[in-house]
Chains A and B, each alone.
Chain A
Amino acid sequence: MTEAFIYDAVRSPRGKGRSDGSLHEITALDLASQVLASVNDRNGLEGNEVEDVAFGCVAPVGEQGAVISRSAVLKAGYAETTSAIQVNRFCGSGLEAVNLAAAKVKAGETDLAVGGGIESMSRVPMGSDGMGGMADPTLVFQEYFVPQGISADLIATKYGYSRDDVDAYAVESQKRAKTAWDENRFAKSILPIKDVIGETILDHDEFMRPETNMQSLGALNPSFQGMGEQMPGFNDVAILKHPDVEKMNHVHHAGNSSGIVDGSAAVLVGNELAGEKYGLKPRARIVSMAAIGSEPTIMLTGPEFAAQKALDRAGMTKNDIDVWELNEAFAAVVLRFMEAMDVDHSDMNVNGGAIAMGHPLGATGAMILGTVLDELERSNKQTALSTLCIGGGMGIATIIERVN
């Protein structure tokens, strides 16, 4: 089968996903199109080379509706012949979009494509798309759905992660992100975002709190205790599905969960021919990709299964992976993955993650793939696996390998 290569990866800085966030004044369309335009600019492309653009978006309604990737392609100055698709696999959308682009390349449908994502969470809040079947009683009663925070606390409860465990992980994420920024490790991928008059309004991840320590986190109240224990009482729902749990331990809060931010990212994927044709140098090969479904109440344990599937399909073992990147949706998600896969923390999320820098839902998957590629090059390592936990009980993973 045709190989798919990564030729470039670019991302916006992450702005706070609130009305005082730096990217709040930029439309989602503008944010996405600045990132898309930079793919052409950075690679000396005219605009008619990329054949298809897949973008993840988790709340594809309002200004993010109506296939925002097609709007962004046009606004970014791509040729009108460039088609676009918007995909939604919740938090895995950005990586799914890259995998889709890669799959199109591998299948021979296209030579050069972009996979990426957009989420302006300050402008189109989470849940704006109405939660669909998650609100339908016929399914809720069948599957015992609970909100993600309850699922994260369920993971911590079942696998015995204490408040200190998750807080310590969060402190480390902040520390690593600060080091990464201090050492300019993201420089290769960051695209400063400009406003209407062309001034840069954000050139760094503004969500970070590098001063975070165990004491400051210790002062925060658990976020999901009220909805779990009192109204409406999601703990009881979770325990119906997991009757081995005696009592839920609520450990997650704003400081050890991913931040709500605005952001966009894009990854340029193509076959060997496209690289030769347009003078692009491949940075990595996409080795394998996988998406799986997992138990939907605990919801966020999918990454281990997705990672294993991706490893199996590549004929690899976990020892073949040099650097791991798992989206820090909640601290317990990463702790559970490291325990289940026997991965050392020193090889996991080495430059911090969404706890420190934020999680722009539809874009994150493409962002962390770019981050891990930069890290492979910086540390001169070979293989990396990126994975995300996904709402509704899913997981997605992509393995890449540097091309020397």
Chain B
Amino acid sequence: MTYETLSIDIDSDGIALVTIDVPGKPMNVWDDALMEEFPKFVDEFISNDDIKGAVLVSGKKSGFLAGADLNMLGSSEAQTTKEAFEMAWGLNANLRRMETGGHSAKDLLKGKAHAKPVACALHGLALGGGLELALACHYRVCSDNPKIQLGLPEVQVGLLPGGGGTQRLPRLAGLQAAGMAIMMGQPMNPQTALAQNVVNEVVPHDEVIDKAKAWVKANPKAAAPWDKKGFKFPGGAGSMDPRAVPLYMGSSALALKQSKGNYEAVKAILSCLYEGSMLPMDTALRVESKYFTKLLSGPQAKNMIRTLFINKQAADKGAGRPEGIPPSDIKTVGVLGAGLMGSGITHVTAKGGMDVIVLDRNMEEAQKAVDYSQKIMDKRKARGKATQEKVDAFMARIKPTDNYDDLKDVDLIIEAVFERPDVKADVIKKTEAVIRDDVIFASNTSTLPITGLAKNSQRPKQFIGMHFFSPVEKMPLLEIIPGEESGDKALAVALDYNKKIRKTPIVVKDVRGFFTNRVFPPYANEAAMMVTEGVSMALIENVAASMGMPIGPLAVVDETTLQLGYDVMQSTKEEMGDDYKPTGMEDFFELMVKKIDRRGRRFGGGFYEYDSDGNKVGLWKGMTDHYPLADPQPDPQEVRQRLMYIQLIATAQCYDEGVVSDPQSADLGAIFGWGFPPYTGGPMSEIDTIGVENFVREADRLAQQYGERFKPPMSFREKADAGESFYKAA
């Protein structure tokens, strides 16, 4: 029989070299084609007496097999849970059939039957369903290249390894090691895999197939360890094993601590480990498939696959890049300003392989950007992540200067000077005087409208905004803001540059605060407002953490400082004059900033108290003198609704006003910009999950109880009335 996705070459010993090469894909994945052909291959393998055993190998240089095609999983057409289970069970059952040779577990156990031996030859990465295919083989030989990744990363898109991974890995590596690997989703290298019994042999690259064949030849009668008599779970398993019980309990606690119980996949994985480790393999696999089915038919996996995988990848590749503009060749970037932002931008630009000329008003200031990168690189070296040569090469890409003339040959300018229009105007003028006239000028700002700044430019078509987040080298998002006059080329170059520094970009409208700073401040404000209402600060911070925010809102405000909140309030007041709408927080900021000097961490204290090194000591107890605790305290669920909906509503308003032009950008911006809980897939996904109608109803309730700021935009009401959702497959 012939196949499209694999080929079989039987040698004189009857050993079939099965080369998997999924057509049309840069990397092997479980796509529809392979899913369809694999069972047929298993049939042939079992029934063809000429085949005595098999070695599975990849026909691609890119690796063995990278897991399931998430686009396929995301578009599952199963109508009922039962149908979904049958689909999930399909792969699991066929892998098991290959492992058992089609014999019953009972016959294998009694030695009445044997499977034909299957070994796996791993020359490159095996992830997810790829590693699961390898685990279903009787023997695994892996190349000794330490860069090879072997892992089960499904949890990162809200799924579990549903091809036997939650059962075979613990039976090889033990519950603890397997649990960590599956729950964190982090890959291991061949050496670790060997130590954990995940692969059987690690050999030089070009010996992999020979060793695999040799094993098959030497072991004509095969059975997996768990199909042999006397199999013992490494490290113990089962509810009566005193080694395993603390492990079950401890891993649940650890997972709760880290996931706050928000990730369905984490819970399901733990259940697969717990329940599966007490069952024989066939039943265990069925249970795994059932948990997999539950995840796949729930909203989390769909939302996570869509936002964190499909949409993120599209954005990272430059989705929305204007057509017809040739790719830009950015070799050297001029960074203006060597402050915190300028230094960070310098670092990521150098990291992206570009040369940087970083300019500040004198050499001493400009040198700060060099020192900034040096410190990071030295740390990497100390951790063994970079060699001295690499550090030197990296640092050689950064040139500090105080002379504008040095900018004359750069391919792109990123300005990150002080956030004052007059200062920016000055550097724009001086820079444009020396750079080539086709060079794009990007201004990094979090507050100043780009169209306004562009008025200082001789070439407003080539002027664009970039909003980096601090610390630049850690924060994954970049907001790109075309001004009114920005041309297509400016946007294309900005996206091309972004691709090189490997951030996730969103393109947003030029309004005050852009997108992220339109949504986050109301959220922080809501938390502060609750404080003034007498809600316990611990309750606010803990509820935010438990719904999946990376850090409590009060702690964030302490970081960004209450002073900043006060200043923004003052400047908004000035700017808007009689049109200023009080937020209700005026007195609070007046008190904290002007009267009692609790302006934030940098100033020695805010919502929290800090020791002299700036470490949190605890929430400031004196707050109750000014805002006595309410009795009773609100239900935590109500606190959660306020903290969640204030973000959802602000996002909805941005979408309504076109600040973000599509739900994808809003979702990516929220998750990667301010740490909106990833398990939701982002605020727009969350609104879909809640259901637009339910969302509007709850927002109205909150608006009635707490104020107009919770009122949903009209377009969302219309959407609710029409019974629509924002994403097609919600």
Question: Is chain B found bound to chain A in the same assembly?
Answer: yes
**Residues on A close to B: CB < 8 A?**
61, 127-128, 130-132, 134-138, 140-141, 144-146, 231-234, 236-237, 239-240, 243-247
State whether the Cβ of B440 lies closer than 8 Å to any Cβ in chain A: no
CB distance from B509 to the nearest CB of A (A): 37
State whether the Cβ of B543 lies closer than 8 Å to any Cβ in chain A: yes
Q: How far is the CA of A137 from the CA of B250 in the complex (A)?
A: 10
Q: Which residue from A132, A135, A137 sits with its C-beta under 8 Å from B267? A: A137
Chain B residues near A141: list those with CB within 8 A.
252, 256, 261, 267, 270
Chain A residues near B271: list those with CB within 8 A.
136-138
Known: A237-B253, A244-B633. A137 touches B270 (CB 8 A): yes
> Are B257 and A245 touching (Cβ within 8 A)?
no
State whether the Cβ of B249 lies closer than 8 Å to any Cβ in chain A: yes
Chain B residues near A237: list those with CB within 8 A.
253, 256-257
Q: Nearest chain-A residue to B249 (Cβ)? A: A135
> Are A130 and B270 touching (Cβ within 8 A)?
no
> Are A246 and B239 touching (Cβ within 8 A)?
no
> Are A135 and B239 touching (Cβ within 8 A)?
yes
CB distance from B407 to the nearest CB of A (A): 51
> Are B546 and A240 touching (Cβ within 8 A)?
yes
Chain B residues near A247: list those with CB within 8 A.
618
State whether the Cβ of B251 lies closer than 8 Å to any Cβ in chain A: yes
Known: A144-B256, A240-B261. A232 touches B250 (CB 8 A): yes
Chain B residues near A61: list those with CB within 8 A.
240
Interface 9-mer from B12-20, B462-470, B534-542, B646-654: B534-542
State whether the Cβ of B655 lies closer than 8 Å to any Cβ in chain A: no
Q: How far is the CA of A183 from the CA of B618 in the complex (A)?
A: 49
Offer 24 A-B interface pairs, CB within 8 angstroms, sorted by A: A128-B242, A130-B239, A130-B245, A134-B249, A135-B248, A135-B274, A136-B248, A136-B274, A138-B267, A141-B256, A141-B261, A141-B267, A141-B270, A144-B261, A145-B249, A232-B250, A232-B253, A233-B254, A240-B261, A243-B639, A246-B537, A246-B538, A246-B542, A247-B618
Q: How far is the CA of A137 from the CA of B268 in the complex (A)?
A: 8
Known: A140-B253, A236-B257. A243 touches B546 (CB 8 A): yes
CB distance from B247 to the nearest CB of A (A): 9
Q: Nearest chain-B residue to A127 (Cβ)? A: B245
Q: How far is the CA of A246 from the CA of B552 in the complex (A)?
A: 12
Most chain B CB neighbours (cut-off 10 Å) among A61, A140, A145, A146: A140
In the complex, besides A141-B256, A245-B538, 11 extra interface pairs with C-beta distance below 8 angstroms are: A127-B242, A130-B245, A134-B249, A138-B271, A141-B252, A146-B253, A231-B250, A233-B253, A237-B253, A244-B536, A246-B538
Q: How far is the CA of A136 from the CA of B244 in the complex (A)?
A: 12
Chain A residues near B256: list those with CB within 8 A.
140-141, 144, 236-237, 240
Q: Nearest chain-A residue to B264 (Cβ)? A: A141
CB distance from B541 to the nearest CB of A (A): 8
State whether the Cβ of B436 lies closer than 8 Å to any Cβ in chain A: no
State whether the Cβ of B234 lies closer than 8 Å to any Cβ in chain A: no
Q: How far is the CA of A240 from the CA of B543 in the complex (A)?
A: 8
Known: A130-B240, A131-B239. A137 touches B538 (CB 8 A): no
Chain B residues near A240: list those with CB within 8 A.
256, 260-261, 542, 546
CB distance from B250 to the nearest CB of A (A): 4
State whether the Cβ of B636 lies closer than 8 Å to any Cβ in chain A: yes
> Are B254 and A232 touching (Cβ within 8 A)?
yes
Q: How far is the CA of A145 from the CA of B253 in the complex (A)?
A: 8
Q: Nearest chain-A residue to B239 (Cβ)? A: A130
A-B contact count (CB 8 A): 89
Chain A residues near B254: list those with CB within 8 A.
231-233
Most chain A CB neighbours (cut-off 10 Å) among B252, B274, B537, B633: B252
Q: How far is the CA of A231 from the CA of B245 in the complex (A)?
A: 15
State whether the Cβ of B529 lies closer than 8 Å to any Cβ in chain A: no
Chain A residues near B249: list those with CB within 8 A.
131, 134-135, 140, 145
State whether the Cβ of B619 lies closer than 8 Å to any Cβ in chain A: yes
B interface SS class: helix
Q: How far is the CA of A364 from the CA of B640 in the complex (A)?
A: 42
Chain A residues near B636: list those with CB within 8 A.
243-244
Most chain B CB neighbours (cut-off 10 Å) among A146, A231, A240: A240
Chain A residues near B248: list those with CB within 8 A.
131, 135-137
Q: Nearest chain-A residue to B240 (Cβ)? A: A130
Q: Nearest chain-A residue to B273 (Cβ)? A: A137
Q: Which residue from B239, B250, B539 sits with its C-beta under 8 Å from A244? A: B539
CB distance from B264 to the nearest CB of A (A): 9
Cβ contacts B165-184/A at 8 Å (1 or 0 each): 00000000000000000000
CB distance from A236 to the nearest CB of B (A): 4
Q: Nearest chain-B residue to A246 (Cβ)? A: B538
Q: How far is the CA of A61 from the CA of B250 in the complex (A)?
A: 23
> Are B267 and A232 touching (Cβ within 8 A)?
no
> Are B542 and A243 touching (Cβ within 8 A)?
yes
Chain B residues near A239: list those with CB within 8 A.
542
Chain A residues near B633: list those with CB within 8 A.
244
Q: Nearest chain-A residue to B267 (Cβ)? A: A141
> Are B239 and A132 touching (Cβ within 8 A)?
yes
Most chain B CB neighbours (cut-off 10 Å) among A134, A137, A239: A137
Q: How far is the CA of A127 from the CA of B245 in the complex (A)?
A: 9
> Are B252 and A140 touching (Cβ within 8 A)?
yes
Q: How far is the CA of A145 from the CA of B245 in the complex (A)?
A: 14
Q: How far is the CA of A141 from the CA of B262 in the complex (A)?
A: 9
Ordered nearest first, which 4 A-B pairs have the shortest CB separation?
Answer: A243-B542, A137-B270, A246-B538, A236-B257
Q: How far is the CA of A128 from the CA of B245 in the complex (A)?
A: 10
CB distance from A314 to the nearest CB of B (A): 31
Most chain A CB neighbours (cut-off 10 Å) among B242, B257, B270, B543: B257
> Are A232 and B538 touching (Cβ within 8 A)?
no
Q: How far is the CA of A23 from the CA of B249 in the complex (A)?
A: 31
CB distance from B525 to the nearest CB of A (A): 20
Chain A residues near B539: list those with CB within 8 A.
243-244
Chain B residues near A234: list those with CB within 8 A.
253
> Are A137 and B261 touching (Cβ within 8 A)?
no
Q: Nearest chain-B residue to A236 (Cβ)? A: B257
Q: Nearest chain-A residue to B639 (Cβ)? A: A243
Q: How far is the CA of A298 from the CA of B258 in the complex (A)?
A: 21
Chain B residues near A136: list those with CB within 8 A.
248, 271, 274
> Are B274 and A244 touching (Cβ within 8 A)?
no
CB distance from A63 to the nearest CB of B (A): 15
Q: How far is the CA of A245 from the CA of B545 in the complex (A)?
A: 13
Q: How far is the CA of A134 from the CA of B270 in the complex (A)?
A: 13
Most chain B CB neighbours (cut-off 10 Å) among A132, A141, A240: A141
